[in-house]
Amino acid sequence: MAERPAANPDLRELLDLLALLPPTRQEEALEFQDVEGFWLSYADAHPRRFGQWLPDKLRANLAAARRADPSWQTVKDLCGYCLTFFDQLDNYECMKLLDVVGFNAIVPNTEGDIGRRWAQSVCRLAWQLFVTAQATILSAQRRP
């Protein structure tokens, strides 16, 4: 049986990577405020044009995953949204916007390089955690 999600180093790393994104007022805020304009710009650059739905879903799922003892279902939900939102490695506009995670401390050789590295890391971890969560959930359901 997999350890509790809170003890999983991949979840901690995923949460650290997501913490590099620009804030929306605060993760558990009731009202969305795109402090730096990043979220709606990213949502507009995404082929599915998520609008405010993207930051709302990510904010709610991040808050749930950061709790002291999140469930594997919570982790699975967060990872599903991460894959939906950030698996855009061929989308130059999305990768360029994600360069923001470098906080202007790293100058990319080409616009989008930092964003692409970040997105690759997020998607790799999100997929690993999604599979672990799904397997753990199914295993628990099959137990007599």
What pLDDT, in 10s, does the model give residues 32-68? 566 678 888 998 999 988 777 877 888 889 889 998 8
Read off the tokens for 60: 């709610």
Residue 93 burial (CB < 10 Å; 0-12/13-18/19+)? middle
What's the predicted TM-score (pTM) here? 0.87
- Cβ atoms < 10 Å from Cβ of 3: 10
What per-residue confidence (pLDDT) applies to 96? 93
Assess contact for 61 and 120: CB atoms under 8 A: no
Scanning the chain, the segments in alpha helix (DSSP H) are 9-18, 38-45, 53-65, 72-86, 92-98, 113-142
Read off the tokens for 101: 């995670």
Please give the single-letter amino acid code of residue 99.
D
Assess contact for 15 and 65: CB atoms under 8 A: yes
**Nearest-angstrom CA–CA distance, 144 and 140:** 9
User: Is the confidence at residue 29, as pLDDT, over 80?
Assistant: no
